[in-house]
Structure 1
C-alpha cells in the first residue's frame, strides 16, 4: 500500500469501514501525518454531529435489499494488488462498497438511526482523541448534548456555522468554501464580549473547508466575528469584520 493510497483512507477510517489489517497500517500512518489526522478527526466529528442532528426511519424493505446486494458483491481475493492502476481502482471500489454497506447495515440491522447516532458519536470521539488533542476537543463540542448551532452566509458564497456548548464553555466554527485570504494575511476569529472583541484564534489560510476550535472560553460572549489580519494575527481587529454572528443561546 503506497503513501498516496493511505491518504485516501481518511473517510473509510472515520466510518470504521477498514478491515483490521488496513486499519492498523493507517493508524501508524496517522500518527505521523498531521494532514490526515486533522481530516480524519473533522470527518469523525462531522459524522457524530450529523448523527445527533437527524433521525430517519428506514423502510421495512431496506434490510432485505441490503442482504440481497451482499450476495452479488464479488470480494477481492487475498492475492489482489493495489499497486497497479487497475489495482488502485479495485481498492477504491472495495472501500466505497464497504463504506456504503456499513452505513446501510447500520440503518437496516438496527431498525433506525437512533442507536447509530449515539454509537457513532462515542466512536468518533474515541478516534478523534487518538488523532490529536485539539481534534478531540472539537468533537466533544460538536457532540455535546447541549450543543447549539447558528449558520450564516459569508462573503464569496462561503457558509459558516458556529457550534456552542455552554456546559463545556467552548465553541467551534465550521466553514465551507472559504476563499484564501490575500497574501501575507490570515482570517482571525473573535468573541464579542459586549462590544469588546477578544481573539479566538486563527483559521488555516490554506483550507477552504475546516473546523476550528475557538480559543478560550465562551464565557459571557454574545457573538463572534471574522476579520482579515496580518499573518500571525492581531491583538485587536485592524479591519472591518467580514462577518458578525450572534452566538446561539
Structure 2
C-alpha cells in the first residue's frame, strides 16, 4: 500500500471486510483517531447487516409455493365410491392380505397428507419468524438514536453492538466469526449488575450475521459472548470471548 492513499476512502471496503491485511491494520490505526470515519464505518456496517439479513432469512418462494401446492393436491381421505353389486362381488374375491395392503396404502396416503400439512405449517411459521427478525433488525439499525460500539475479537473477528434506547433493543453484528466446536454455539448475554442473563443464540454455521438480542437493553450495562453447549445455557459455562459495554 502506498503512503499517499486517502484512508478516508476505505470506510466502505473496511465495513465489508474487503481490505488486505496490511491496509486493514493501517486503516484501523487511522480509525482510532478519526471520528468521522468511525461513524461512517458504523453506518456502512449496519446497512450491510440489514441488507444481508433481509436477503438471508426469507425462505425461497419456490420452496414455499411447492409445499403449499402439495397440500392442496394430496387427499387426506380416500374418495367415497358407491357400492355396487359388481364391486361387492369383486371385494369378496380379493384375498385378505391384498385387502389389508389396500387399507395400508389408504392409511399411508392420509399420513403423507398430514406430513405435508405439518411441513407447510412449519414453513409458514419459519417465514413469520424470519419476517419478525428482519423487522427487529431494521427497527434497531434504522432507529434515529441508534449508537454503536465495535470491538475486535480473536482470529480477526469483530463484533459491533448497535443499541436504540428509545426502542429498548440491541443488535450484535458479527464478522469473520470462527465456527464453534462441534456441539457448541455462541451465546449472547446481557450483563446487569454483575449478573449475566441470556439474550439469544448465534447461528453456528454463519461467520457473518446480525442477531437481535432478546430482552431489554436499557436495563443492561454490557453484552457478553460465550461458547455454550448446543441449545444454550441458563448461565455461562465458559469465560466470555468478549464483553462489550453498551454504547451511550
TM-score of the superposed pair, with normalisation by structure 2: 0.49
Q: Which has the larger radius of gyration?
A: 2
